[in-house]
Structures are given as structure tokens and as C-alpha cells.
A and B are shown apart, each in its own frame.
Chain A
């Protein structure tokens, strides 16, 4: 075997596998296209590999997708920027396939290549490609064309620019809704490259046509265009051209369009600036908050805080707050839930007095909501309101809400409230917690659902971290250790896991004096599962307890377990013993 052959072999295999029957092998070869290209050299890559790939356009979509992606970073392998244009033909074919994700990737790669190409090359190669695609027989080519204009346009001559603008406006009036949707989606990007003079005239005309399209799906995408175009225009033009469109959209007969406005409203406000927001968009927003369609109200309710932030507190109190009150008793639970997830954030915006006067009653009513998600959403954001008015005003209503959630029949709800207990504890303080919530935390350890017991054990650890070992020694450890005699082994198991979680927080002394004896007792449990978990817990104690205790208590216990009749118990105790030996050796 000659030395030259060796590196060629794997390459030869890769090349052959480009045409293998097995799709996985073809994919693999395409992924290593750069390796093949390096072996062939730049010239042969240009003259053989790329044309070869151009013909490979009826492969499976997965292969085409991979090819579209690889070609996007292929410039170095064809000889640098000078030859970048040779990559365009295969990508052009990929821009016309039926599968959307392949086309999108091909467009992305073309944009990536185009943005690096020299200006003259763009004029010679890229712009003709865009024009060809835009005039494509099938809609697939025209859809792809829309995403390439912003790369082609800047380097075109004046005449070509005018032509490109005309072509784009034709695409916006295409018979196929898919093409109009693509044109609508890409309008913002294209507009950003167009000169201000044309922006105001031609692009705005295109935009206006799109906003009046028959197809809801096209108008929907035009809403997004509002924000993008608004940022490009001078403020006065934005107010003159974009603002009216937004206001009309906010009253569109299709709820989906109004939903988009509600979702995009913050960006739209940024686009038009603070003054028009106050005069024109506040009424529009208020309408959306009172929309007939629940979906629209959900979207609008979710933006209450963000929107209030850009208004003055007076305006927010005057216009937004009345709507918020209505929404807090909305007929749709999802609306109330969306509101509950953001409304706490309004407290800092409105300030202390308004929060107490206006928001507090709403918080309280949402805390009593029949739908658990609403209550949970309020509780999850408690810290935001605590900063403004303190927790005392809320605590009276909070407790019943928490207790009810803690006992909810859906375990996911119980799980969610457990997650928030450390947050509540930190906000409410030790005193409140001791009185009211301590018992709940213990109760969860005996829940019927494993996930709840697991979360409860974890919760104890987080509480110990929050309030410190001394507090935990008083309020958690005794209660936990009491439960170790539960007749059901699954509950004993929970206690065992709680002990192993608490040990690192409590420190060596308490672990040795309080926790370890209990664990050692459990080593005599009649259930094997408990015994091998004892072995695991003892292993986890290694870094915590000191050597003397280790030798005196832990090791004998493990040695005994290593003789257990149960195979798993023996296995885990031997592992633990090995771990001890290792630590001993290293010290």
C-alpha cells in the first residue's frame, strides 16, 4: 500500500456513499462534504463536486436539508470569495423544492453566501438568481425569492433597484397566498435596505396592500411588519402611516389579527413612540382588553404590566386599571390566569398608595379564584409586590390560598405550590412560616404521590438553607425523625432521602448526633429497599462525618449490610465500603 492511498481511502468511501442506497450513509457523506472537497481540491470541487451536487436534487428531504446547510459554509472549499458564485446553482435548485424546511435552509445559506460576496459578483450572479426565482413557474421558487431581496438590493444599480422593487410588489400580489405570506414576512428586512425616499412611497404602498389582503394569514403577518417598518421610518411618517394601520388592525374583523396586535403591542408602541402611544394606542389597547374573544383578552392581559410601564402611573390608573379589574373576574379562566401571571408587576409601576387602594383587592380576589393556576400565578410573583407594600397586607388571604393549593386533588398543583414554598418562606419570614406552613411541609412527606414526597424532601433542604441549621434543628429535624417509624416502607424511604438531603446543610455535628443514629437503626429494617438505601445514604455521609465516627459507626454498619441476604443490599454496601477505603487511602 502506498502512503498516498491511505488518506484517499476513507474519502473514496465517502464519495461513493453520496450515492448509497442507505439514507443514513448518504446523510453522513453530505455532512462530511467539506472533507471530500478538501481531498478533491478547490478546482475539482468547483468543476466536479458542485455540478454533481446540483443534479442531486431529488434526494430525500433530510439529505437535501443537510446539503443546503453544508453549502452555506462552503466558500473556503471552492477557492474563497472569488469563486463564491459557483455555490449558487445548487442552492438555487434547493430553493425550489416542495419541502418548506429545505427551502428555508437554502435561502438562509444563500443569504449567508450573498452577504460575503463581492459587489460585482452579486450583480453578475446573485441578482439574476433572485430574478429567476421570482419569475419561477411554481410558487415554491417565488416563496424563496422573497427572502433574498434584502441581500440583492444594496449592490444593485439604480435601474436594477427599481426593477427589484417592482418585482417585490408583484410578489406581494401573487395569486398564491403562500407567496404573499412570504413577501409579507420578509418585507421588514427588505424595507431596511431600501432608500428612505422609496420607502415612503413604494414600500408603504406594498405594505398598505398587504394590510388589506383577503387572506387573514397574510394580514396577520403584516401586523409584524408594522413594528419593523415603524422603526425604519421617521417619527412623523410613522405616525402618519403606521399608526392608523395599527389602530385599524386593532379593530380588524378577524380575532386572529387582533390577537397579533395584542401580542405585538409593546413593539408597536416602541415603533410609534411615547406620545402617540398615550393618545392613540391606549384606547386601542383598552379595546383589546375588552375584546369579545377570550384569546385576544389573554394576549392583551399578558401585556398589562409591560404596557403600563411605558405609561405614566396616572394614565395607567385611569385607563388600564379599570380594565384590569374587569379582567380579574373574566369568564375565561385562561384570561384570569394570564392576568395573574403579570399583575404583581404592576405594583412597582403604580406605587404604594395605588397598589394598596386599587391592586390589593384584585390580588385578593385572584387569590380566591376557583382555578388553581390563577392562584399559583399570583403566589409565584409574590416578591414583586412585597417590595412595594410588604407582605402583611396579603398574608391573611395568602394562608387559606396556600392551604387549599397544598391540598388540591391534582398532584401537579400540589407540586407547583411546593416549588414556591421557599420563596414564600423568604417573603413571609420565619415567624409566619413556623405558625402556619411548617405542618404543611411535613404533611407533604406523606403524600400519596411519589413526586410530591420527593419535592417535599427537597423543599425541607431548601428551607434549611434559607433559615439556617439552628432553625432547622428546631423546626424540621425532630418532626422528620419522628416519622421514621411509619409502618409503610415508602414513607420511611422518603424520610431516608430527606435525611440524606438535609445532612450536608446541617453539618457534621448534627449529622453525627441526630441523623446518623436513625440511619443506622434503619439498617435493620425488614425491607431490603430501605436497607440498600441506607447503604447509599451512608456513602453520601462520607464527606460530612469525620473519620472516627466513620470507623466507629458507619463502617461496622456497612460491614454488617455487606453480609445481607439480599443481593442489592450487598452490592450497595460493598460500593460504600470501597468508597470509604478510597477516602482513607487518599488522606
Chain B
């Protein structure tokens, strides 16, 4: 969007990979459903979180080393067009189900958001959160060490009932300070070793051949949210991050888990006066003092942390006023923003509400610079969608690294990609299957043929249970990862 040059042509999306593909008729386990997707800063890693509290990491394999890579390609006789290819790297259990006894509340283990942090020494760091607790993870390759050549024989279970436990050496010491006793079964061993000459000391030899990935929880940031956490976001200073729940936003230092600062508090003195909740929050990609949060009333607020410690007053407000005539019972519900994302440079904010994607220029508060209809064919069906609660589904959105395109999900495992540069008419519908363009052409008309009908909801054309909520765009290439229930599909163009 930054350059006003020729509008790029529409992309031709191709299937790249799928992880956890469902076999025909296989039932999806609730815990396997993916609930968060996030690429790291340079796109070499991808993390997904699921309802079972697990985080799965994928690593890019197609650009390991130039020389090797070319050979592999030749061997595989691949086409020259290069696209990101990932392989499963590791997974770990990030959250467990808990019970809050004070409030008699079950806390689900479902991962709500994942954010990558600054890499250091080849160790990966990431934040993951469920409804209440944020955790800071370090995933690192650890050498598997083989230690041999001990001074004392490595304790074996066979010797005098000696077990390889940690207290074995301690008993040696006590034995010696007491001068040793003849009935002591250890004594045999002592004599034995000393005969073989413990006249000299040496250091054990450590050899290591293999490595294994180890995930360790470094910090746990808990007990700071009364409501459910919907977002976490890192600051560009690599020192702090925010966490947002329905009514409050807290600021944390990554190194300090014992305290956080409340920077936005929307809780009214009387909860009956509550009209609006926070739905999503994100730091500006480069300005350490700026952050944006969206609300259930369809507005986006930009706040400046420099202005005051408690930022209840925003510095900029973005909202679109609906034409008075078009207001309906559902207007308020469908205007609720489910996700916002800053563009890479930080000038634009993309927001998703139930029916549309909107692009906002942070210098223009009067209205969005572009609006994209995601599934306009559902508008006549809002009543049904309200009745089965689908209208409250929270779809995520994402921008391409170059800011030229945006994408978001819909029902029936469909997702849409729109060109947002000036003059672009690109609007693609893709399905999260191995053949993404299968339904591209025929679906919209079919929807149109069934206006208002609520009974014709069949699994084939309009399936509310197969919603595509989570997706992410690779930071530098045209590649999208999206979650269709428990499967992770990757596409490239």
C-alpha cells in the first residue's frame, strides 16, 4: 500500500503442506483443535497452540544451506519455484487444566495466543497464554551427554544393592567420617576401589554426539487477570509485553513475573454500566510507546504510554459510524472487532469484525481506508447465526509482509485473500484442503441461491462447525498457514 505503483496481479495459491490431516471419517478430538498460530520474526519457525494446552513448533527446512539444498532439490527433481517448507520440530505441554478454588472456576488449558520473543544463542523463546496464565518458554537444543571415566565406579544396582541414586555418594562420605565399619556392606566396595588405587584424581570424560530439543518454562506470569486473556503482545524494546483481558490491559517486564502494571482499566464502578469490552490488543511494531486495542463496539483506540501511567484516555480513536438507516438488531454484535493487527511498518491497522475486514490508516480517524466483505452471503442469515451463537465466533486476520494483501477466515474451512493496494480488485476464496481452489468458483453462487433459508444448511455448502478462525501470513513471503480444526494447512503463491 505504501507504493502507488501498478496493482499486483492476483496470486495463484497452491497447496504446500498439511500437518495432522484428518482421514476420512476420522473424528476430531476436541483437545487437538488448533487455537493459535504464529510465525516468528523472520519466518523460519511456526508455532501452533491447541485446546489441549500443547504448543507445537515447526521449522523451515527449505533454506538450511545453499549447497545441500540444491542437491536435495535436484535429487527430488523439484520445480525451481521455491516456497517455505516446514517440518515438525518439537512440541511441549504448555498449560494444564487447573481449578481456581477461590472462585470455583475451571481454567481451561486451551492456548489463546502465542508470541515469539527475541532469539538468543540459537535458543527460541516464546510466550503462550491460556485464559489466565502467561508462560515464557525457552526451547533449546541440548546435547545429550555421555559421562564416563568416573573416579569411583559408576554405582550399579548390582553392587551390594547399591542403586544409582543420588544419595549413594553421600553414604560414602558418612562411612568415611565414621571411620568405616566392618559390617558395613559398603566397606567391601571401599576397599575394592582403594586397592585399584584411588591414589589419583581425574575429571570425568564427557562426550556428546546427539542433541535433543528441550522446552523449559522460564517464567510464569499469573494472577494478574480477573477476566479471560484475549491477547498478548511484545514491545519493540524486547523488555516488556502486554496482556489484555476483557476489561484490563497489563504491562509486564519479561524478567519479572511477580508484578505487572495496569495500564488500561475499562471496568466500570458498577458492572451493570458495562457496555464495551476489550477484544484484542497489540503493540506498535516499532514505537515502544504506542499500542492499539479494539473493542466489542467496533472501535480501535491507539494509546500512548508516554502520556500517563494509566492510559484510560486514548490518544486516537478509530471507528466507523453506520448510516442511521441501516441499523438492525445485529449491528452492534457484528461490529464487534475480533482481531487487530498492525502492518509491518506500523502505519496501518487491519481489523476484523464479523462480516468485514477493514484497513485503517493510523493518521486517519474518520473511517477505514478500505473495507472488504468476507462473507456477505451470510447477511440474510444473521438471525440463524445468532441463534446458534456462531455470530460470536472470533475470526483472526493477517497481513502479508509487504502489506499488499490481507487474509481472514470464514466458515466451511474457507479463507479469503484480498489485495489491498490501490486499484487492486484481488479477492480470492480458498478452501483449507489439498485443493484450495476447488470451491473457489461455485460456492458464492450457491450461497446466493439459498437466501434466508435456515434449513438448507448442509455440510457441503455452509458448514458452521468447520470455521477457520486462525491463520497467519509468513512475514516475508507469500505463504499462509491456517488451521482447519486439528489440521494445519500451508499454502504458497
Contacts and interface: CB of A to CB of B under 8 A. Distances in A.
Are these two chains actual partners, yes or no? yes
Nearest to A298: B309
A256 B118 CA distance: 24
B370 interface: no
Interface string A516-528: 0000000000000
Interface stretch (B79-87, B169-177, B428-436, B466-474): B169-177
Contacts of A48: 202-203
A10 B204 contact: no
Interface string B238-252: 111000000000000
Nearest to B142: A58
A239 to B, nearest CB: 28
Contacts of A40: 201
Interface string B178-200: 00100000000011001000111
A140 interface: yes
Contacts of A567: none
A449 interface: no
A255 B309 contact: yes
Nearest to B203: A52
A8 B203 contact: no
B201 A18 contact: no
A15 B151 contact: yes
Interface in A1-58: 1-2, 4-6, 8-13, 15-22, 24-25, 39-40, 48-49, 52, 55-56, 58
B237 A177 contact: yes
A254 interface: yes
B201 A15 contact: yes
B121 A138 contact: yes
Nearest to B172: A13
A480 to B, nearest CB: 41
B152 A13 contact: yes
Given A4-B199, A12-B152, A253-B306, A215 B166 contact: no
A293 B307 CA distance: 8
B39 to A, nearest CB: 20
Contacts of A139: 118, 120
A24 B309 CA distance: 43
A138 to B, nearest CB: 5
B309 A16 contact: no
Contact of B307 (A55, A181, A255): A255
A18 B151 CA distance: 12
A98 B121 contact: yes
A254 B289 contact: yes
Given A10-B173, A13-B173, A215-B237, A5 B198 contact: yes
B206 interface: yes
A97 interface: yes
Contacts of A1: 180, 190-191, 194
A216 B237 contact: yes
Contact of B143 (A4, A10, A58, A295): A58
Contacts, number: 125
A48 B201 CA distance: 11
A64 B485 CA distance: 43
A17 B201 CA distance: 13
A1 B143 CA distance: 39
A5 B306 contact: no
Main secondary structure of the interface of A (DSSP, over half): helix
Interface residues of A, number: 52
Interface string B199-237: 111111010000000000000000000000000000011
A387 B349 CA distance: 62
B288 interface: yes
B150 interface: yes
Interface string B278-310: 000000001111000000000000000111110
Contacts of B123: 98
A540 interface: no
Nearest to B197: A5
A12 B151 contact: yes
B68 interface: no
Contacts of A216: 237, 288-289, 305-306
Contacts of B309: 255, 293-295
A292 interface: yes
B147 to A, nearest CB: 4
A87 B66 CA distance: 39
Given A25-B166, A48-B203, A8 B198 contact: yes
A94 to B, nearest CB: 12
A296 to B, nearest CB: 9
B138 interface: yes
A293 B237 contact: no
B166 A177 contact: no
Contact of A22 (B166, B287, B307): B166
A482 interface: no
A354 B318 CA distance: 53
B288 A9 contact: no
B201 to A, nearest CB: 6
A100 B239 CA distance: 12
Contacts of B200: 8
Given A1-B191, A5-B198, A12-B201, A19 B206 contact: yes
A323 B430 CA distance: 65
A435 interface: no
A178 interface: yes
8 contacts: A1-B190, A8-B198, A15-B201, A98-B120, A214-B287, A215-B288, A217-B240, A255-B306
Q: Which 5 A-B pairs have the closest CB atoms?
A: A12-B151, A22-B166, A254-B306, A13-B169, A19-B147
Given A15-B202, A214-B287, A255-B309, 11 more contacts: A1-B190, A4-B199, A5-B199, A6-B176, A10-B172, A13-B173, A22-B166, A96-B121, A216-B288, A253-B306, A293-B309
Interface of B: 118, 120-121, 123, 125, 138, 142-143, 145, 147, 150-152, 166, 169, 172-173, 176, 180, 190-191, 194, 198-204, 206, 236-240, 255, 286-289, 305-309
